[in-house]
Structure 1
Amino acid sequence: MARVGYAMLVVTCPDARTAESISRRLVEERLAACGNVMAPVTSIYRWKGKVQRDSEAILLLKTRRSLVRDCTRRVRSLHPYELPEIIAIPVVAGLPDYLAWLGRETRLPTKVRR
């Protein structure tokens, strides 16, 4: 059996409600097995030439590496920001039973139609 790779997407959202909404959609659509919302967090960043400080929420989505592109597209379509932070981090190790569950709870990626 081929080894399945996994990833965690880090997504900043304007608030916990938005993060929960995005998480629920991706889990319902089996693009992610799990989403965790951490709020509030303080974000400091440069945007359009000015240093900004905002209260945000961080959404962590666990998925297959092969679904990262589909997850990114879906998050982007649901996200209210002009330029949302969506970063994928490879999972290099984890509890085998948890990783097996993650694989069962996510669907196989759709084939790209050309």
Structure 2
Amino acid sequence: MSKSVDDLRIVSVTCPDEATALAIARLAVERRLAACANIVPGVRTVYRWMGEISEDSEVLLTLKTREDFVESLYTAIVATHPYQQPAIEVTALADAGRGVAAWIRAETGGEDSTALPKSFKPVE
């Protein structure tokens, strides 16, 4: 059974390359704004920008965080991201496996990480 996830969020942003995604991911995790980041290369994006349809290869970055940190995470992404207007999407986490909700809270400063079992390692 999962723990309540009402305060947990997934923040997604597309990046022009893996180096950008990795820089943002490391910054977010080091500052404890996110518990972890997933970097997914090989995303193909088709979009309309300034009246024209464009198509680009991008990298998808997803970050697991708490609602309390979304604004700070947004600010960090915008300050680091090379796009004029990065596409940042915030989604409520619908469910989490056993221990994952506690782990996200612990790694973002919300709960004491010593409360987690020593052998706990989230499986993505």
Number of the residue aligned with 1:111: none
Tell me, in whole angstroms, the C-alpha distance in 2 between the residues paired with 1:101 and 1:42. 32
SS in 1 for 2:95: coil
**1:106 partner letter:** T
What is the correspondence of 1:1-114 to structure 2 with a 5 Å cutoff?
5-107=7-109
Over the matched positions of the two proteins, sequence identity in percent amounts to 37
Structure 2 residue runs without a partner (length 5+):
111-124
**1:73 partner letter:** T
**Once superposed, which parts of structure 1, at least 4 consecutive aligned residues long, lie more than 2 Å away?**
none
Tell me, in whole angstroms, the C-alpha distance in 2 between the residues paired with 1:31 and 1:44. 29
Tell me how far 1:16 sits from its aligned partner: 1.1
Tell me, in whole angstroms, the C-alpha distance in 2 between the residues paired with 1:65 and 1:57. 24
Output the TM-score relative to the length of structure 2: 0.82
Tell me how far 1:18 sits from its aligned partner: 0.6
- 1:8-32 CA-to-partner distances (Å, cap 9, x unmatched) read 0010000111101100010000000
Do 1:15 and 1:40's aligned partners in 2 also have CA atoms closer than 8 Å?
Answer: no
SS in 2 for 1:96: coil
Tell me, in whole angstroms, the C-alpha distance in 2 between the residues paired with 1:27 and 1:9. 13
- 1:34-56 CA-to-partner distances (Å, cap 9, x unmatched) read 00000011000001110000000
Structure 1 residue runs without a partner (length 5+):
109-114
Q: CA RMSD in A?
A: 1.5
Tell me, in whole angstroms, the C-alpha distance in 2 between the residues paired with 1:40 and 1:21. 18
Tell me, in whole angstroms, the C-alpha distance in 2 between the residues paired with 1:89 and 1:13. 18
Tell me how far 1:95 sits from its aligned partner: 1.2
Tell me, in whole angstroms, the C-alpha distance in 2 between the residues paired with 1:51 and 1:3. 37
Do 2:5 and 2:94's aligned partners in 1 also have CA atoms closer than 8 Å?
Answer: no
Tell me, in whole angstroms, the C-alpha distance in 2 between the residues paired with 1:9 and 1:79. 14
Aligned length: 107
